[in-house]
Structure 1
Amino acid sequence: MRDHGMELERKRGGEDALSLSYEEWRERMEAWGEPRFRADQICNWMHVRKVFDYHEMSNLSKSLRERLSGSMLMPLPVLIREQKSKDGTRKYLWQMADGARVESVLLNHGGHTTACVSSQVGCPLSCVFCATGTLGFGRNLTPGEILGQFLMMERRRLDGGAEQGINNIVFMGMGEPLLNAGNVFKGIRMLNHPKMRNLGARHITISTAGVVPGILDLADFEVPLRLSVSLHAPNDGLRTKLMPINRQYSLSRLVEALRVYRNRTGERITIEYALIDGLNDDPQLAYEMAALLDGLEPYINLIPFNPIPMKPELRRSPEAKVKAFCAALAELRIEFEVRRERGADIMAACGQLAGTLRCT
């Protein structure tokens, strides 16, 4: 698979500034004969002050600003459409430099906010309950394109009069983050770096459909991230029907990887389970899930299925079935919650993101 960042640089004759780590900025400054602290200044302008025009970086020399403008690209996502839900959720459709489009979501929880960002253009996994999967796969996003979603949402929030930026980020948008692990991990290092955005590790969550090698990489990752796993079925037959990735990474392999992650990090794992009428909402499946995850002490996040127009035959479980499933989990003394629906009226809830796919 081609490296999109390098391809963009080749076509446009410059380097992607948003994808540079702090260490790479220091290397560039040293190579240009500039003092190392210039890297601190540039990263502060971009990641803290949200200033992306080199000519506005007033503590840099004029000659440096001109050199940056001529050789360091700033390919920020362009906002195509913003929608606001009745519950305050905002959904953004972004266009990248090559015309590819992704969606991201900003969730307002009252005292804090969470950015839900995309890691791929489309998605290759084809989960039956997810709108993104119907788009097919376009390409991986670069670290700069991933961070760009967060930075642009944060700038819009601050420009709108908010007193503080975004508190949390979740990699739960379009795409499977652990199939773009290199770029996602680099983006996380940049978000977490004290000279860049300085977002605490406890405020960063990766959600995966069960990419076992990526989970094992997370177990050894230097930034102790939170892990969320889309399960949606506790046996291989049903899970393969709902999530084709189960053919490659069976539940036994997935649970083994989760045990490694749990043992090495000590972090509690969140299990995502969307309740779909007549498919995976039988209370007996709650008992199967308890047996499957025995010893992991997970936190179960029950998600009312969010309907998608591409699959009208799929329906949300009725309240009586949800209560019966919850009663089984309570009997088993498994900690859970039923997630509060947010953004469904603008197709911004879990599984509903399907921004127009344009990739040249």
Structure 2
Amino acid sequence: MNKQSIYDLPLEELTTWLISHGHKKSRARQVWAWLYRRRAATFSAMLDVNSDCLSLLDAHFYIQSLNETCRQESSDGTIKFLLQLQDGNLIETVLMRHKFGLSVCVTTQVGCNMGCSFCASGLLNKKRDLSSGEIVEQLMHVQRHLDRREQAEQVSHVVVMGIGEPLDNFANLVSFLQTIKDHNGLAIAARRITVSTSGLADAIYRFSDAKLQVNLAISLHAPNDMLRSRIMKINTVFPIAALLDAIDYYLMHSKRRITFEYILLKDLNDRPEHAQELAALIGARNANVNLIPYNPVDEHSQYQRTEHETSLVFYDVLKKQGLNCSIRLEHGVDIAAACGQLRSKHLPTA
């Protein structure tokens, strides 16, 4: 298909494009409202838009391209969508239900090259980046699913924690964030959006300078370089000291709290001495530590899940050291909701 996703264009770009093709600025806002407020699935559904404009848009853009190939729903209300892209590649998007609202976890790449040994996404190497439109469309796919329910609900939060490294797809990530934050459309507040990175220190500086004001989460998972390099290849490129310098830059420029994500792996990084070392590493930074129970990638996983009692001891050490800390509430354990698991099952030889 030689057309482009209409979701690739933030409002400002759509406005510029339509003006360059002889239409008024107001036409862009009209089309935008149909896309994001009324969730039009075709251009012909935009009933009050000029027919010449609709023909022009239809000649250059498409709205829907994702094909839902599988959907799994958990007993806790979590829904995982396996979506097929136009080129046949598969990605995952997850809807999670919280007390504070509904959040959607989106994917930014087909596969992942970060090589984190505990992550199902890393089992399948990166094939390509997703366009900003392909990331936006994941969110729109889930929202349309909610719209069709008897009591329609609105997505309130977005986490960019699906397959891939978001900061490795920087330009498309920024475009996606601009689109979903726009107050004329989905109007998802920056404070309700979280981007997670495995620790690309150089990109964290760019992310800070972009002044997006969304939340940033760092996949830390170890309190020292020796252990972190063992489980996360990225640490050999950006060791902890370099990562912390970038984090301090982010904290200084954003004035927002940062989250350190820490997967607890039995007998590897879950001892009280690891908690003490982690507390010393984070120090007085404006941060929250999110302790994550491990979901084994498969039955042959080299890692095991930390017992709940051990997790509580780890948590207690951090709290006594004055750190803000929480243990993540698990979602969709019964439907392989950990990142990349469902896709891996459908592509066993990928």
Give the structure-2-normalised TM-score: 0.95
For structure 2, the residue ranges without an aligned partner over 5 or more in a row are none
Match of 1:212 in 2: 201
Query: 265, 284, 293: which one pairs with 2:282?
Result: 293
Cα distance in structure 2, aligned partners of 1:282 and 1:152: 42
Are 1:143 and 2:138 counterparts? no
Match of 1:172 in 2: 161
Q: What one-letter code is carried by the residue in structure 2 that aligns with 1:345? A: D
Task: Render the CA deviation track for 1:142-184: whole Å, top value 9, x for unaligned.
Answer: 0000000001101111111334310000001100100001100
Task: Render the CA deviation track for 1:68-98: whole Å, top value 9, x for unaligned.
Answer: 2222233431111110011110000011111
**Matched residues, percent identical?**
33
Query: 318, 337, 347: which one pairs with 2:326?
Result: 337
Query: 315, 325, 337: which one pairs with 1:348?
Result: 337
CA 1:311/1:241 → structure 2, altered by over 3 Å: closer, same or farther? Answer: farther
Number of aligned residue pairs: give it: 348
Query: 108, 111, 122: which one pairs with 1:122?
Result: 111
Counting only pairs closer than 5 Å after superposition, residues 317-328 of structure 1 correspond to structure 2 as 317-328=306-317
Cα distance in structure 2, aligned partners of 1:251 and 1:351: 26
Q: Is the 8 A contact 2:163 2:339 kept in 1?
A: no
Cα distance in structure 2, aligned partners of 1:280 and 1:23: 46
Moved more, 218-227 or 270-279: 218-227
Q: What one-letter code is carried by the residue in structure 1 that aligns with 2:158? A: I
Query: 20, 25, 50: which one pairs with 1:31?
Result: 20
Cα distance in structure 2, aligned partners of 1:31 and 1:319: 60
| Pairwise CA distance, 1:111 | 4.5
Cα distance in structure 1, aligned partners of 2:324 and 2:215: 17
Other structure's SS at 2:343 match: coil
Are 1:238 and 2:227 counterparts? yes
| Pairwise CA distance, 1:48 | 1.6
Match of 1:88 in 2: 77
Cα distance in structure 2, aligned partners of 1:225 and 1:310: 36
Q: Is the 8 A contact 2:133 2:176 kept in 1?
A: yes
Q: What one-letter code is carried by the residue in structure 2 that aligns with 1:87? A: D
Match of 1:72 in 2: 61
Cα distance in structure 1, aligned partners of 2:339 and 2:262: 11
Q: Is the 8 A contact 1:107 1:114 kept in 2?
A: yes
Task: Render the CA deviation track for 1:15-71: whole Å, top value 9, x for unaligned.
Answer: 331201211211222122111111001111111211020111001122222222222
Match of 2:142 in 1: 153
Q: Is the 8 A contact 2:211 2:254 kept in 1?
A: no
Other structure's SS at 1:82 match: strand
Cα distance in structure 2, aligned partners of 1:318 and 1:350: 21
Other structure's SS at 1:354 match: helix
Query: 247, 250, 262: which one pairs with 2:236?
Result: 247
CA 1:35/1:160 → structure 2, altered by over 3 Å: closer, same or farther? Answer: same
Match of 1:3 in 2: none
Are 1:199 and 2:188 counterparts? yes
Query: 32, 40, 50: which one pairs with 2:39?
Result: 50
Task: Render the CA deviation track for 1:192-234: whole Å, top value 9, x for unaligned.
Answer: 1123322111111100110112211222223201011111001
Cα distance in structure 1, aligned partners of 2:19 and 2:50: 15
Cα distance in structure 2, aligned partners of 1:111 and 1:297: 22
For structure 1, the residue ranges without an aligned partner over 5 or more in a row are 1-11
Q: What one-letter code is carried by the residue in structure 2 that aligns with 1:54? A: F
Match of 2:251 in 1: 262
CA 1:236/1:111 → structure 2, altered by over 3 Å: closer, same or farther? Answer: closer
Other structure's SS at 1:50 match: coil
Q: What one-letter code is carried by the residue in structure 2 that aligns with 1:243? A: M
Cα distance in structure 1, aligned partners of 2:159 and 2:255: 20
Cα distance in structure 1, aligned partners of 2:347 and 2:111: 7
Moved more, 132-141 or 294-303: 294-303
Q: Is the 8 A contact 1:100 1:357 kept in 2?
A: no
Cα distance in structure 2, aligned partners of 1:59 and 1:68: 14
Cα distance in structure 1, aligned partners of 2:53 and 2:11: 17
Match of 2:261 in 1: 272
Give the structure-1-normalised TM-score: 0.92
